[in-house]
Structure 1
Amino acid sequence: MKQIKHHLTEPLLMGYAAGTLPEAFNLVVATHITMCDTCRAALAEYEAVGGEVMLETDPVDVAEDALAATLALIENGRFAETPAPVRTQNSVFPGPLQDYVSGDIDSLKWRKVGGGVSQFVLNTSDDASVRLLRIPAGTAVPDHGHQGTELTLVLQGAFMDEDDLFATGDVEVANEDLNHTPVAAEGLDCICLAATDAPLRFNGFVPRLAQRFIGI
C-alpha cells in the first residue's frame, strides 16, 4: 500500500476515542485507522488517556435493580444475539466497512447520481449520512462547497482537487472554508467513503436541482 499522506485531525481522533462522533463519522474513522498505522497509533494514545481519566473519575451508584432489569431484558429477547457479518479477505472494503455492506464493489446496487458518478447510501443514525461513491477515472464531481463537515476516505484509485492529490488510504477533511472540484485520477475508478453532517453547497444550477433527489 502507498504511504498515506492525509490523516485524520486530532479532534476527530479524540471524538472517536470519547464516543462523541456521529455514527457516519465513526465509520469513516474506523475504516481509515485499519489502513493507517499513524492514525491507529495516535488513537491508541487518546484511548489510553481516556482510560486514565476514567480511573480518576468518582464511581456512580446504579439502581439496586439494574442487574435484575438487564437480565430480564436478555431473557425476553431484547438483546438477542445476531450472527457476526462474514468478512472477505483482500476486499477493497476494510473490515469495519464490510460490517455495513454485503459483498464487494460489483455486487452493490449502485445508484446513478449524474455525470457517470454512482452512490450507495449506508444505513446509519440520522445526525449525519455516509455513502460510497464510485467515480469513473477522469470524471469530475461538480464544483461545490460545504455547509458542515465532510470526511472523504479513498478506498481505491485517487482523486485530485485544487489543493492536493488524495490516494488510497488518504482522507480529506472539508469544512465551510473549502470550495473544490474533485476529479478522479486516471486508472482505476475512484471508490470513496464520504460522510457529511450537512448538505453540500453545489455552485451549478443543475447539481442544485438534482440535490433533492440524490440526498447529498
Structure 2
Amino acid sequence: MTYFSEHDIEKLHHLYQINLINSCSGYKSANLIGTKSKKGIENVAVFSSITHIGSSPAMLGFFLRPTTAIRNTYNNIKETGFFTINHIHKNILEQAHHTSAKYSAEISEFDMTSLNSEYQNDFFAPFVQDAPIKLAMQFVEEYNIKANNTILLVGKITGLYINDGLIENDGFVNLSKAQIATINGLDGYAVPQERIRFGYQRPKQLTADN
C-alpha cells in the first residue's frame, strides 16, 4: 500500500496532487448546473460537489472554488437566485465534460456543445433537455469556508422532474436504470450498472447469548 504523509502531499507536483486528492474521496455525483444571466445568456457547467443538505425542507448544496477566476455559475445564481441541477447520463458524458472549459460570460456552453436547453413551468433557469432527472433550485444562503476560501452554496428544491420508471414504490430513485454517471476525480467517469439496497437498519436486540 502506498503511503503519503501530509508533508509528502504538500511536496507533490501540482497536477498530480490535484488528481490524487480529488479522486481519493471516492465516486461523486455528476451533475450539470444550469443558470441564466440577467442579460438572458444561458450557462451550463459540470459539478461533482452537489450534496444532500436536508429532506424537509428539501435542500441541496454544492461547493465552489474561490471566485477570483471566472465563475459564471456563481455570478448568475447570486444575480437571479435561480439554478437547475441536471443528472449526467451515459449518452452525454463527453459533451457534459466539455462544459468544464472556461468560457466567458457572453458565451453559452449550450452553443459550444450538443446539449440543448429547455424550460419547464416558466422557471427562470434552463434545464438540460435530455437529463433523466432535473431539479429546479432557488438560492437560500452561502457559507464561506475560511480554511481554503471556498464557498458552500445552499439551495432549496422548488421543482423535481424524474423520467417515468425510475421511482420505486417507496420513493427511491433508481439511478442505474437511467445510466446516471458518477465522477472519479476531475475527469474520470463511471456508469454504475448494479445496486444493492439493505433497507433502514435498526439496532439488534441483545440476548443472554451475546
Mark yes or no: TM-score above 0.5.
Answer: no
Please give the TM-score of this superposition, normalised by the length of structure 2: 0.25
Which has the larger share of strand? 2
- Whose helix fraction is larger, Structure 1's or Structure 2's? 1
